[in-house]
Structure 1
Amino acid sequence: MNIFPSRLSPTILAVATLFAAGQAAAIAPFTIRDIRIEGLQRVEPGTVFASIPLRVGETYDDDKASAAIRALYALGVFKDVRIEVVDDVVVVAVEERPTVAGVEFSGVREFDKEVLMKSLREVGLAEGRPYDKALIDRATQELKRQYINRSLYGAEIQTTVTPIERNRVNLTFTVTEGSPARIKEIRIVGNQAFSESTLRGLFELDTGNWLSWYTKSDRYSRTKLNGDLETLKSYYLSRGYIDFRIDSTQVAISPDKQEVSIIINITEGEPYIVSEVDLAGNYLNREDEFKQLITVKAGQPYNANDVAETTKAFTDRFGDFGFAFARVEARPEIDRARRVVRLVFAADPSRRVYVRRININGNDRTRDEVIRREFRQYEAAWYDGRKIRLSRDRVDRLGYFTEVNIETADVPGAPDQVDLNLTVAEKPTSSLQVGAGFSSAERLSLNFSFKQENAFGTGQYLAVELNTSKFNRVLVLSSVDPYFTADGISRSFDIYHRSSKPYNDYGGNYELITEGGSLRFGVPFTENDTVFFGGGIERTRIKTGTNIPAEYLAYAEQFGYTSNTVPLTVGWARDDRDSALAPNRGRYQRFNTEWGVGGDARFIKLNYQFQQFVPLSRQYTLAFNSEFGWGKGLNGRPFPVFKNFYSGGLGSVRGFEQSTLGPRSITGTYAGGPKKITLNGELVAPFPGAGNDKTLRLFAFTDVGTVWGESEKVDLSQMRASAGVGISWISPVGPLRLAWATPVRKFAGDKIQKLQFQIGTSF
């Protein structure tokens, strides 16, 4: 029996190959009669046969044997390989590497287990894969890198390998995290035009403040530092300092790995003024259109942000005409003697293309058709940048994804075609909530809700809501099909039971109980405009009790304690805000008409809301809100008291107790009225110490408004007003707003409540 070659290990594969070559002289070439594989446990024999260059009936030689050994080691699943020759039979003897059966972490507090598992999978370590000592070393380095990114430089990691049955191992990473390194100082050297404190104020990183436990802004991160350096550079370039540069960045870590010092050396240069702005190149004979997109102004300091904005606007405009690969270059011609710059925008539209295919990735749950029906750019149509941007925004507004990105890819061999690759990252769209809530007006309330915003990946909304608050109890079953028809007409229906007690000072057990159902359709007329219409059946019962308002008794005695009505609704909405939770720009309008056409209650009720968001900068937003309501009884009947508007508190005029403005009954109850005006203004700013985090913001506001009774004239002098400050936080349980307000116009008998908060309220 001849052995060729002797036992090898992966670390001496090259030596083994040479040894194999040396043994070649001992074995003369022969015709292979059979090939046998020995030692396999989990690897399929077909994998081995497919990898080696040896076949029955072919000639065996030393070169093929060496190539076979190299090929099997290259698979990465064997730790030992031998080739033996017995009577013209080639025997391939292998020893498999152990397989990773499980990976566990001990002592980990900074990360979720799944985050670390994902990082290990990226370096090739995962359950079911072969165990390799070199792979463990890479995995340990990757874990340390993850901790360094969190400023935990002193983290220590030990790996325990535990063999188990069937040639498997369990891996345990024991982590001693230690304390995070804090930024001790940040220094900027070389600044003259701006103070060091002003420049440091641009950074997300800082030396710590009372909110650092939340923002972690005092933890060093290379990624954050690079972002801050870009912000610093942009700050200078937007103020005319074309020659600004960052000479060096020095990051020093203390010996105990607990403190970090950052020193940034800069050269400012001199500020430059724009002397002239010209166009060069091919602008499709539309120079006048492109000139209107220029935001750079002659005579003003050079502003790199304006230059970038103009360049992007030009590129987007070329894209609107199908030129997906247009190149626009801003060429500054600098006159350093006069400190002026002539700016030339040179354009090359390149070639016009059309979209061959739209590829969607990342939607493991959501069906393709739910995404594709939001697209306004179609396959086999000319590339249109405006429609592509609109398509991306429409997909993002679905609310099913945390990220939505579109990239353009060339089609090999077809210079006039491109593919659009849409990549989404899905988020959970189902929620089951059982808990309690508390607000300054409602006190304690129990609630249960099940919501599925994307039921079975179809894009339909299903919900069951139950709320047991002190003043408002709700049971609602809802369903919304946003594409009831292929043209995008939506259908929604609700079945509800609502019980409410108006606010008063003297208690009472009377109630308004409303039960019914409604069906509504929404017809999109434009990309931002939708008209709604529908109808329903509703029964409202006035349940008598102590301190019931005289208005309720008067209505009940004349028309009965139970009123049935058939309300028809017609509404319109337009929404072009950039975000529904934390908008920075855009406008929202909503108009709704409710018309009681049948039953005991005959009325008409109108409501209009207007919101405008004006960006003052990337961090500051000016927001306006106005709401107008009007109602009137029909056929000689008064306006139903159970349809009244209310004002006061969060959502209307802050600083006054909830729903306490307007007409007051002789029993002391605030029963609302059919006429309402509310005006709000807010200046939204980043919370001190929170950097650019939009989930936590501070706002200053002023509110004006009230309601009037049916027999009262709208007298603007009767409107209440307040001013104050508040905190807005998009918390895990919903948007939370806390406001402290002081009335600046009030009247005798008004109920004041300076501190108010609630979850889920806007304005």
Structure 2
Amino acid sequence: MGNKFLIPAIALLFLLSLSLKAYAGLVYVRKIKVTGAKKFSNSRIKKLILTDESKWYSGIFKDKPYLKESLLKADLERIANFYRSQGFPYINVKAELEQVGKNEVTIIIAISEGKRYNLDSVSILGNHILSSDVITKELKLKFGAPFNFNILPELERRVKFLYACRGHPYAKVHGAYSLNDSTQGVSLTLTVEEGKKAYFGSSILHGLEISRPSIINRELAFQKGEIYAENKLIISRLNLLGTQLFELVDIRPDSLELERDSVPIKVTVVERSPNYVGANLTFSTNPNYDITMDITGELGNRNLFGTGRAINIKGISQFELFTKFRNLKNRFIVGYYEPFALGLKLPLRAELYFDPGNRSESEQYRIQRFGGTISSVYQIDTLKYHRIAFSYERVDIYGITDSRLAENIKLSQGIRIKRALVYLFSRDRRDNLFLPTGGSNFRAQIEYAGFGGDDNYLLLRAEWARYISMSKNLIYANRIAVAGIGNLKRGEDVLPHNRLFLGGGGSIRGFAEKGLGPKDSTGAPIGGKALFLMNYELRIHLFWKAWATGFIDIGNLWGKFESVTPSQLRLTGGWGLALITPVGPLRFDYAYHIRKLDPGVKPRWHLGIFYAF
């Protein structure tokens, strides 16, 4: 009986809610039309409009959009600003409302574009310290291109900054333009009042409760008495944020309006809590595995006794997720960080670690590691750095299960001492880490193991990747990598866990992870000594966050240097799909073999986080 009345009652309430909305005094927007746009499409103009129009489902699954006068006014100004930025100083935009129902309207955006003007000339007046050519170059304007009529304040700021970086923080700049209606050209004039030269004064520190003042003073890129340079304030701020000791850093001159010869600098910081406990879950890919997952737990103190020194204890477990789930590695780390070693800006990091019985890269035996590393990084700039590290490692090889393993590996059971020196150079010019559209990335590594240890080898590795935006929706990317490792002690060979591996979603697709190169009698990979790799990709934007990829992979891994020959290069190709997520691209690649040098190897799917390179 109750059900007979329940459904009609719900329907009645739904209709009543619609009728209440209709009499709420709101004016709804049925449609938005654009008229008068000639240089730009109507769809391009409508992308600038935040006022929404009704869809077929409006009023059913969501409320109908209603007219907001303030929002519509902001839309008109947004369209006008867009046109002014594209060279239309006489743009006129207005909105008309057309009644189409009792409480519904169609908004008609009427545009009168006017003439379009290009930049003809730039004149700099009042400058003596800096030449007109230097200032004009800093403006980064294109002659003959449509002039952005919104850019005058930005041009004034650029010139003032140019002077402030050269000892003149009190410079004033006034910009103006004139129009030539016959040629539709713009003549830009910037008038400069250079002001007097100034010097850095005392630093005024605010916000320090834990850290010592020396931490801030040693990170400042300027000293009292030096010629004022505003770019050094920016560098100093980045230096302080790079210490990881502060949530917020603000550095600015104090009271520039007083125009003093010596400019005091006000440094304000908000400190982070020194003690921390954290855990995180990260997903990544590398040349040996499609997707790996790292579970990390950490606790430490990032600011010991207010000195900027740090200690931490960390545990890491790494798992392979695809094509099978397994634990790859476990490691426990105790670390110490010294930001200024030997009184120099030379950060030094020391770590002790313990790996409890991880599988070797060849998975033919277990390796228990205990060791330590001392490393230092010299940051050349934000794009380039040098890293050097010395490591001591005690390796216990045990659990060899296959009697057919090479004799030299079986003889290596027990304790081995490894002492190694590693040098790394990195230059990363990519414009985006997740989806690079331009720039390049270069890394070179040299590793020498010896110094009286049981392992004696030299490893050389270099990798270079390039990214080119061929159009708005098309990116070309390529990578080349070479590596070689050789034993330096006669009569010994490089053990498999020190060798190179290749194959999988991060290197040569179409092969299993580490599936390319020398294998033992059971078919298990044992690693190689010479590696060559080339990748070519075209990345095509499809829609929303979806991208398609076409790729070709070339390369091989050889067990001996004398075996290296181009005839043994593997060649695979395929296609892929990628979805750009907040944590990086999630990609699916399908690869097949163009050169069929490996009987029985079939096309293969790969799932990965991030692009292969």
Report sequence identity in percent. 18
Contact 2:531 2:558 in 1 (8 A): no
1:496 aligns with 2:496: no
Deviates more, 1:592-601 or 1:746-755: 746-755
Contact 2:469 2:476 in 1 (8 A): yes
- Counterparts of 1:620 and 1:424, CA distance in 2: 43
* Matched letter for residue 495 of structure 2: P
In structure 2, list runs of 5 or more residues that go unmatched: 1-26, 56-61, 320-325
Contact 2:246 2:269 in 1 (8 A): no
Secondary structure of 1:600's counterpart equals: coil
Shift of residue 284, structure 1, vs aligned partner: 1.1
- Counterparts of 2:90 and 2:265, CA distance in 1: 40
Contact 1:633 1:640 in 2 (8 A): no
- Counterparts of 1:578 and 1:631, CA distance in 2: 32
Shift of residue 225, structure 1, vs aligned partner: 9.0
Secondary structure of 1:322's counterpart equals: coil
* Alignment partner of 2:297 out of 449, 454, 457: 449
Deviates more, 1:297-306 or 1:324-333: 297-306
1:419 aligns with 2:268: no
Alignment match, 1:241: 88
1:753 aligns with 2:612: no
* Matched letter for residue 446 of structure 2: T
Alignment match, 2:186: 341
* Matched letter for residue 582 of structure 2: I
Alignment match, 1:713: 564
Secondary structure of 2:133's counterpart equals: helix
Alignment match, 2:310: 460
Deviations 1:632-662 (A, max 9, x none): 1112233332112222334334554322233
1:727 aligns with 2:579: yes
TM value normalised by structure 2: 0.72
* Matched letter for residue 166 of structure 2: F
Shift of residue 408, structure 1, vs aligned partner: 4.2
* Matched letter for residue 345 of structure 2: G
Contact 1:295 1:310 in 2 (8 A): no
Alignment match, 1:289: 134
Shift of residue 539, structure 1, vs aligned partner: 1.3
- Counterparts of 1:426 and 1:197, CA distance in 2: 47
In structure 1, list runs of 5 or more residues that go unmatched: 1-180, 210-215, 504-508, 691-696
- Counterparts of 1:566 and 1:686, CA distance in 2: 48
Contact 1:277 1:296 in 2 (8 A): no
Shift of residue 423, structure 1, vs aligned partner: 6.0
Alignment match, 1:474: 330
Deviations 1:25-77 (A, max 9, x none): xxxxxxxxxxxxxxxxxxxxxxxxxxxxxxxxxxxxxxxxxxxxxxxxxxxxx
Deviations 1:566-618 (A, max 9, x none): 22223333456677667777655433221111332211112234455667899
Cα distance change on mapping 1:756 and 1:717 into 2, 3 Å: same
Contact 2:554 2:571 in 1 (8 A): yes
Alignment match, 2:171: 326
Contact 2:361 2:496 in 1 (8 A): no
Contact 1:502 1:669 in 2 (8 A): no
Contact 2:446 2:461 in 1 (8 A): yes
CA-atom RMSD in angstroms: 5.0
- Counterparts of 2:65 and 2:348, CA distance in 1: 50
Alignment match, 1:7: none
Cα distance change on mapping 1:756 and 1:611 into 2, 3 Å: same
- Counterparts of 1:362 and 1:224, CA distance in 2: 41
TM value normalised by structure 1: 0.60
- Counterparts of 1:705 and 1:246, CA distance in 2: 56
Contact 1:400 1:429 in 2 (8 A): no
- Counterparts of 2:74 and 2:506, CA distance in 1: 37
Alignment match, 1:521: 375
Secondary structure of 1:460's counterpart equals: strand
Contact 1:510 1:542 in 2 (8 A): no
Cα distance change on mapping 1:358 and 1:311 into 2, 3 Å: same
Cα distance change on mapping 1:427 and 1:292 into 2, 3 Å: farther
Secondary structure of 2:576's counterpart equals: strand
1:192 aligns with 2:38: yes
* Matched letter for residue 196 of structure 1: N
Secondary structure of 2:524's counterpart equals: coil
Which structure's CA Rg is the greater one? 1
* Alignment partner of 1:354 out of 199, 204, 214: 199
Shift of residue 249, structure 1, vs aligned partner: 10
Deviations 1:450-498 (A, max 9, x none): 2558456736363412315315122130425251423222222241316
**Highest relative contact order (Cα 8 Å, sep 6+), 1 or 2?**
2
1:566 aligns with 2:412: no
Alignment match, 1:629: 483
- Counterparts of 1:744 and 1:306, CA distance in 2: 54
Alignment match, 2:496: 641
Shift of residue 521, structure 1, vs aligned partner: 2.9
Cα distance change on mapping 1:596 and 1:429 into 2, 3 Å: same
Alignment match, 1:278: 123
Alignment match, 1:301: 146
Describe how 1:63-212 pairs up with structure 2 within 5 A: 188-201=34-47
Cα distance change on mapping 1:644 and 1:514 into 2, 3 Å: farther
Alignment match, 1:553: 406
Q: How many residues are aligned here?
A: 556
Shift of residue 332, structure 1, vs aligned partner: 2.3
Contact 1:326 1:350 in 2 (8 A): yes
Secondary structure of 2:608's counterpart equals: strand
